[in-house]
Structures are given as structure tokens and as C-alpha cells.
Amino acid sequence: MTIALIFDCGATNLRTIAIDQNGKMLAAHHQPNRTQPDPHYPHFYIWDMDEIWQKLLFCAEQTLAQLEQSHSLAEVVGIGVTTFGVDGTAFDAQGKPLYPIISWQCPRTIPVMERLSHYLDVQTLYQRNGIGQYSFNTLFKLLWLKENEPDIFQQMDKFLFISSMITQRLTGVFSTDRTMAGTSMMTDLQSQTWDSEVLKVLGLQSSHFPPMVNAGEKIGNLSTALCQQLGLNPIPVISCGHDTQFAVFGSGAGINQPVLSSGTWEILMARTEQANPRFEFIAQGLTTEFDALPLCFNPAVQWLGSGVCWNGWAKPFLPMSEDQHNIIPR
């Protein structure tokens, strides 16, 4: 039997899953996940990567212990990592993180989003990258760092998305999952590479981002230390990336077939072979990301779901009246 081990980092749950070649779940374990206050800005929110990593390793140990009751761990032939999009952080030249991961739930980037037209032509930017006006976009996080933590921004040798932070800990290899880059508001839909005008505004080069890896491509092998800890062979770690893309791809949906993905977000999307975002659709929240397959796309609209719409941080994101917000359970 061929078995894959999946590391999945979600906003509310962290889990690992062992599945066979037919997609049957053989074992799984999960731990809760939540944001933490930024130690420098108590009213802002971050992800604690060390906590996430330790919880994922614990989940992996528990999942493999379950699996070993009925299968040999030698049957585990690969690892994939999926996470929520947009979030990541700056690293120095020695590969050490310079700042905590700013959470997509953090309101600090709302003023940056509101000033986007001061940096770029909003209409032409949308036509190039297709990403909707969401305050949590990676572009706004990097602009916030540049303006509010200039010393850290100047020290940045590379930026890693959270999925690549996990695969780097698994393999030692720095990379960029293409499906994650496609969530950033910093790429070009047609070339599926970094947008030169956006990089110019940030004062960055494409070399500030590790090489892009397509979904399904090998990033590296599981490190010797983790092979020993988990009881696995030095198996390949495969690029996956943004969980949204694998929800629609894993559903088996064909090209131009609509799919509703329910999770932290309710996302209505499709897989298409063309992308032509028109600016009049931005008011309806249309956003277009890279599909799991190169040169395909996922146009989508999305709404917060799963009961995570806590009044403490959701209010700036959602156009509700005060009465409507008061209905939300605390």
C-alpha cells in the first residue's frame, strides 16, 4: 500500500492525516490552533510558529502511532503540507525569522489597504493579479513592515509563506509554494511569477523570495533527525500549499465546474483555463488565485463561516450594522 502523510495547518485546527492512494483516511490526529497577541503590539495578532510546529509534530507522532497498529511505516512514501493562504514572515540571511507571522485575522493592515492607491494603480493591479481587496493580503503585511518596522524590513533576506516555513523545518530547504504566492496580491496571473511593479514599490527583488515550486513537485527529503523521531524513511516532501486550491482540486471538479468549499471560509469557486478579472467585479469580492495545476486559475468569492466570526476582530472586515454584530456569539 502507498500512504501519504499530510500536515494541515488551519486557523482553528492543526492536524496530520495518513491517507492511502485512494484517498481513504487511515489515521489522524488534531490539536487546536489560535492566534496570539503580538508581543510588541498587544492589540494585534500573530501566529506562534514554534507552537504550531510542536503541535504538528505531536499530531504526526500520534497519527503514525495509530497507523502502525495496522500498517508498516515503510508504506509512508511522501509528505504534503497545506495551510491557509497569505501569511508568512521575513527571514534573515542565516535563515532565522525576524518577526512573528502576522495573522490574517490582524487589523493592523486595514489602513494600509485603504491607502493602496497611494502606492499603485488599483485598477491595473487588479487586472494583472486578480486578487480582491482583502486587508490580510501579503502585500499589505509587507508594506506594514516596511513602514512600521523598517530595520527588520531592511534585514530581510527572504520572505517565506507559512506552508514553506513548515516544509523548511521538515527538509531544510527554502522554497515558495506557487499556490501560496498566488494569494499574495504580488503576482501576475498570466506569467504566474512576481509582479515587477509591486516589487518596485516594496523595494524588493524576486530573489527575496525562494524559488517557486509547483504543486506536486518535490521540495526535499525529510531530514535525518525527523526520520529518526518519526520512524520514517527519508521520504520526499511534496509541494502543496494553499488549502483552498486542494479543496477544489481534491474534490475532483472538472474545468468550469463550480464548487462550494466549507471551512473557516465559505468559498464558491471554479477551476478555469483562463482568467480575465474585470474591475467592476471587485466590489462583489471576486478574487482569482492560481490553481493547483500550472496555468489554470481559481476565480472565487468568499465569506467567513464556521462560527469563527468573533466580534473582537471581525468587525473591521465585515460590513455589518452594530445590531448584526451584537448577534454574533462571543
Give the model's pLDDT for residue 303: 84
Q: How far apart are CA 241 and CA 239, in angstroms?
A: 6
Q: How far apart are CA 108 and CA 65, in angstroms?
A: 41
Average pLDDT over residues 218-238: 99
Give the model's pLDDT for residue 306: 54
Average pLDDT over residues 84-101: 98
Average pLDDT over residues 204-223: 98
Give the model's pLDDT for residue 129: 95
- Res 310 pLDDT > 80: no
Q: Categorize the per-residue pLDDT at 87 as very low, low, confident or very high, splitting at 50, 70 and 90.
A: very high
For 113-140, how does the pLDDT look when each residue is reduced to its tens digit (9 = 90+)?
Answer: 999 999 999 999 999 999 999 999 999 9
For 18-66, how does the pLDDT look when each residue is reduced to its tens digit (9 = 90+)?
Answer: 999 999 999 999 999 999 999 999 999 999 999 999 999 999 999 999 9
Q: How far apart are CA 221 and CA 170, in angstroms?
A: 8
For 149-175, how does the pLDDT look when each residue is reduced to its tens digit (9 = 90+)?
Answer: 999 999 999 999 999 999 999 999 999
The alpha carbon of 167 is separated from its chain's Cα centroid by a whole number of angstroms, namely: 12
Average pLDDT, the chain: 92
Q: Would you tell me which CATH number, out of the four given (3.40.190.10, 3.40.50.300, 3.30.420.40, 3.40.50.720), belongs to the domain 3-253?
A: 3.30.420.40
Give the model's pLDDT for residue 58: 99
Domain assignments of the chain as residue spans, ordered by start:
3-253
Q: Categorize the per-residue pLDDT at 325 as very low, low, confident or very high, splitting at 50, 70 and 90.
A: very low
Average pLDDT over residues 298-309: 74
How many Cβ atoms from other residues are within 10 Å of residue 234's Cβ? 12
Give the model's pLDDT for residue 268: 93
Contacts of 320 (CB under 8 A, 6+ apart): none
Give the model's pLDDT for residue 228: 98
Query: Which stretch of 22-31, 55-64, 184-193, 241-250 has the lowest confidence by average pLDDT?
Result: 241-250
* % the chain with pLDDT above 70: 92
Average pLDDT over residues 292-302: 93
Contacts of 195 (CB under 8 A, 6+ apart): 125, 128, 129, 186, 187, 188
Give the model's pLDDT for residue 313: 42
Give the model's pLDDT for residue 43: 95
Query: Which stretch of 13-22, 139-148, 193-202, 316-325 has the lowest confidence by average pLDDT?
Result: 316-325
Distances (CA, A) of 130 to 123, 156, 170, 226, 304: 10, 27, 32, 39, 20
Average pLDDT over residues 232-248: 94
Average pLDDT over residues 274-281: 91
